[in-house]
Copies of this chain bind each other. A is one copy, B any other.
């Protein structure tokens, strides 16, 4: 096999990198921290976009587009926001290059300095709320439900493909409402859209919950999150939805006349998921042979590999495969025939396993004679020989079964990794084993910080499923009284 993948047990981090690079998902670019998303990786992201976009639109959200650049002064308007985002960002200071007077190449033209520097958007609350000021005057203008699909830049010092990159792709929803309740409901609605997408499309279990005050988005009154568990036992924040109160409306003076004729500040939510979901997808399901893609997101759901010795056999098998392909495509499946003549079947098998294609079909001369096909499923690596007759309907069932199985496998792993822990000694031992620890917490930022300092574990969320967490107890660290358990883990 040409492309070897490091085993998870050997070096999980290297395994992840191998999958990203060797399955042709993404690679480092010539620009520090910025990635190139390759066609195979981008095709998965496109599927994510397409499905999420439909889910957003069903709730009444419309897409729009706001500028890439944010005037520096806008960031300062919301006090917490500037703390959270101004620190590491790409700053545009000039608008022209010129021929280097002292040598080859080009240099920045010192006469083309901008009056006010522009920041490449790390998130768009400020520029969007400066726009909403023109859109919103009366209660009749509300709600405003906008989303944009775009690139953002956060100057991260340590980057990892998909998980943390200087530039990444995402969607950011920004909504404006007449009441606090409506804005809060919107934030709740969207975190559940994300959870639904994670579970039913990505086949990835998630816990929905509130972030602790210390982990909230800069400028939010409440942050809701979906938290997934990766196979190495670390948590990954896969999407967040924020109730922003009136903070941005006040910073950008966005008021409306309510039904009683009074001026009020507008209420806001914002919510986003990013190409980080690609990292989650890889780590939630991949195995030592490569990616395992849920059929709902696989750019190629069925790959066909011909097995032949002579050109005549090849032609006959490819002709049969063409028939099968047409039938499968007519049922809405995406199918590819791997007719490359310079590679052995074994090499192709390994490559398609690496790329996570859910179902592989192989047809050889004997199959052609007997009207059979070898069906291999990626999730279990099982192989059976079946009649070609009626294949179409069975493939549809098989893809459903694979989608379900991938989810159940991840769910079983997740469930086995959630433990209730009640003493500090136990916490310190258990956190080393990875997974989610459900513990009592006294609700103070001080305890939260201490726990992180001593164990690198953070509060991933305060789960919204009350049966998981609402009970009386004492803080696992301070021993003070607590009314709920929260979810601790080490995280990406």
Residue numbers of A with Cβ under 8 A of B are 27, 29-31, 34-39, 42-43, 45-46, 62-76, 82, 86-98, 104-106, 108, 117-120, 127, 130-131, 134, 140, 146, 150-151, 153, 155, 167, 169, 342
Contact B39 A69 (CB under 8 A): no
- Check A131/B36 contact, CB under 8 A, given A88-B96, A91-B94, A95-B155: yes
- Check A92/B92 contact, CB under 8 A, given A34-B67, A37-B64, A75-B106: yes
- Check A63/B43 contact, CB under 8 A, given A91-B95, A106-B72: yes
- Check A120/B106 contact, CB under 8 A, given A43-B63, A69-B31, A167-B69: no
| Min CB–CB distance A141 → chain B (angstroms) | 12
| Min CB–CB distance A145 → chain B (angstroms) | 9
14 cross-chain CB contacts under 8 A = A27-B131, A29-B66, A30-B127, A31-B71, A37-B64, A42-B62, A67-B167, A72-B108, A86-B97, A88-B96, A89-B97, A92-B92, A97-B119, A150-B151
Bound-complex Cα distance A92 to B93 (A): 6
- Which chain B positions have C-beta within 8 A of A69? 31, 34, 90, 167
- Which chain B positions have C-beta within 8 A of A104? 76
- Which chain B positions have C-beta within 8 A of A43? 62-63
Tell me how many chains of this kind the complex includes. Answer: 2
| Min CB–CB distance A149 → chain B (angstroms) | 9
- Check A92/B90 contact, CB under 8 A, given A27-B134, A63-B39: yes
- Which chain B positions have C-beta within 8 A of A38? 64
| Min CB–CB distance A120 → chain B (angstroms) | 7
